[in-house]
Structure 1
């Protein structure tokens, strides 16, 4: 089954920068962004699907493949970031010269909303307390192990079925570089994945996720930012972001979560968007000390 839809993006819309955060860097078995075309595989309530997005004469063409084609095409505008609501943000940004400049420079970057909680939760749990390189290596291995071929011509796999993950023993994940603590959090999340997908908004999803042992505010924020397109989601507990915010907004080389939230308060409603702008602009606090080493739990 194939379904097509034509959409008109806003002026200066930055297609690649808007959808790129939905993919694991370098290689994602469940999606790709190549030559101005974007692919994403999803498990929808109507069955498996693959979404293709491409620019055409100023418009954005969405094509869905598979039994869930209608569902994913109906949501294509949200996945592309076209439902992102920037109401009031320009007025907030005007109060800070740096934020105002970044908001103008990256005005075309929109926040996507996939409507898919568990795939993002899988990635966020794997990213807990390890380097991005380690986490992404584990993510690729898990997707390849549990993945099933996605519809369409892009040679993708579907995101892992939560039921298959929930039915697995924790030691299955050890060769993928995931230790018991993160694996147990993942198994708990997989067991209630259907309930999480029924959450009506970021607040409900955050409450349900953080009620699970091993899932805290950092993980929940990483999920709702892209599953619901929540522009206010702040990754409290992040290793770098408090320092970045303190440096960008107050010239302080180091910051705590409390200081970060204090400085972001004038941007409430768009606090996560401000953090994203700092990342897009390459803003970072001075670095001191060695970097976190890359390890392999599979060798322990």
Structure 2
């Protein structure tokens, strides 16, 4: 979009927050870059230039605006709506893969050479993987500087910098202030009281957002010990690369309040990425709803509660296991089965602020379970143990960068995996915005009440006009039933 100068100028002049994250405005006279909705008086058009990423702005010698803080913009919705190599690379960089595994590790995951990935990212984002990761490290460092009392040396290494000198130079270059000055400025401003060991931050999103859809679903399907709804917040444990954490997420009028307790602050980037993915916060609800409103059957549902997101998961393997446990049983029964696995095979954790007790067991931990100990039909035991073995042996990957169609093919080849299970995993674990569940009981009930075709094949044909947003159409169709997944818990 950054190449459409006229459209970008209109967005900046109208301070349109819908375009935050889509592109960045760099001001040639001040050498500052901003988000489109920056509250300052827009510069003259001749002094504006546009970039597709914060990293590209930084690479061109611009520093972040201190008013609008463009580094905290929502991510571009493109990276969650596409399955090509650039989108997959961006999802991996957002998860901190470059910091942990380097550019070679990023390229290996994608099946390309490092040179090919560099070329593709430069062509589309104006910056290579190292520059994009550097911009993300700077943002993580700022969060730690402003929201924790960690010594600066610990902040530097937790954010992914290899040296204190690089940390200091990057922060000063990107934000125009030294790390100590950033902390002093943050201390002057209003904010929640700091809690030792807890990082409090705001997760931005593009309005509108329907919190009942998101938090209602997560609370209604919560696995005891791993997830809970407490004091107006969805809380859960997180398994992370360097340790584990507990996160509390609660809806606010213009952001999601996030409180993170981490055993290792190096996991902050990954934890934030997982939370944004879980809540689908980088979506463009205006574009989604506009497409679905063109169908007269869906239009009233969209108008009644616009901004529905697709509730996802913090871990693809975890969701796949839970999807198998949920085959042909009620939500309550699926939670019970999952809770038994958690108690028997999950790693215990301490949660001073609530009732969380375990991490969800990894595929490796479940690989040795005794099928006879599972209170499931024999065929479902086979389905679960086959899935767990494929995940543990890395023959099946269900990460944010996984190729959607390849994963569908591999899942469908496993015993007991029908269209409902495959598409549920594609929708919530892989993040395919066009995943569709025509055979789901709730969808079939909605179709009957709305006069839509009853059979999966006929409904799929009818839903062609909803593409590429059929996963969002599913969220609206589910509202036809008065189910707890549609409402914030009491």
Output the TM-score relative to the length of structure 2: 0.51
Matched, 1:116 2:315: yes
Indicate how the Cα distance of structure 1 residues 59 and 275 shifts in structure 2: closer, same or farther if over 3 A, else same. Answer: closer
Which residue does 1:155 correspond to in 2? 355
**Higher Cα Rg, which structure:** 2
State the shift of 1:236 in Å.
4.5
Aligned to 2:368: 167
Alignment partner of 1:216 out of 387, 395, 418? 418
**Whole-angstrom CA distance in 2 between matches of 1:34 and 1:12:** 24
User: What CA deviation, in whole Å up to 9, does each residue of 1:23-60 have, x standing for no partner?
Assistant: 45476321122332111222233332222213457432
Q: Give 3-state SS (helix, strand or coil) of 2:440's partner.
A: coil
1:57/1:14 CA distance change after superposition, 3 Å: closer
Equivalent position of 1:137 in the other structure = 336
In the alignment, structure 1 residue 92 sits paired with structure 2 residue 266: no
**Are residue 128 (structure 1) and residue 324 (structure 2) matched?**
no
- Residue 430 (structure 2) pairs with residue 232 (structure 1): no
Deviations for 1:111-134, whole angstroms, at most 9, x for unmatched residues?
233351111111110121233333
Call closer, same or farther: CA 1:132–1:7 in 2, change over 3 Å.
Answer: closer
Select the residue among 215, 224, 234 that pairs with 1:28: 224
**Alpha-carbon separation, structure 1, partners of 2:350 and 2:404:** 29
Deviations 1:88-145 (A, max 9, x none): 4334323323311211222132223335111111111012123333323212222222
Distance 2:218 2:472 in 1: 16
Gaps of 5+ in 2: 1-196, 484-490
Using the TM superposition, give the Cα deviation of residue 196 of structure 1 relative to its aligned residue in structure 2, in angstroms: 1.6
SS at match of 2:402: coil
Residue in 1 that maps onto 2:276: 77
1:183 maps to 2:381: yes
Alpha-carbon distance change, 151 to 15 in structure 1, aligned in 2, over 3 angstroms? farther
Equivalenced residue count is: 278
**Residues 147 and 160, structure 1, Cα contact 8 Å, conserved in 2:** yes
Of the three residues 47, 50, 54, the one matched with 2:250 is 54
- Aligned to 2:342, the other structure's residue is in SS state helix
Task: Return closer, same or farther for 1:209/1:49 CA change in 2, 3 Å cut-off.
Answer: farther
Q: Which residue matches 2:471?
A: 272
Tell me if structure 2 keeps the 8 A contact 1:37–1:54: yes
Bigger mean CA deviation after superposition, 212-221 or 26-35: 26-35
Aligned partner (choices 252, 261, 264) of residue 65 of structure 1:
261
How far apart in 2 are the matches of 1:191 and 1:113? 23
**Structure 1 residues 242 and 58, CA gap change in structure 2 (3 angstroms):** closer
Note the residue ranges of structure 1 that are not aligned, 5 or more in a row. Answer: 285-300
For 2:461 and 2:220, how far apart are their aligned partners in 1?
Answer: 31
Aligned CA distance change for structure 1 residues 281 and 76 (closer, same or farther; 3 Å) = same
Q: The residue matched to 2:420 in structure 1 has which SS? A: helix
Distance 1:88 1:55 in 2: 22
Distance (whole Å) between structure 2 residues aligned to residue 57 and residue 135 of structure 1: 32
Residue 293 of structure 1 corresponds to which residue in structure 2? none
What do residues 55-81 of structure 1 show as CA deviations (whole Å, max 9, x unaligned)? 457432223223344411233222222
Give yes or no for contact 1:149–1:155 (8 Å, CA) kept in 2.
Answer: no
SS at match of 2:246: strand
Of the two structures, which has the highest relative contact order with CA contacts closer than 8 Å and spacing of 6 or more? 1
- C-alpha distance in 1 between matches for 2:285 and 2:223: 30
Query: Comparing both structures, which one devotes a greater share of its residues to helix?
Result: 2
Contact map agreement 1:218 1:237 (CA 8 A) in 2:
yes
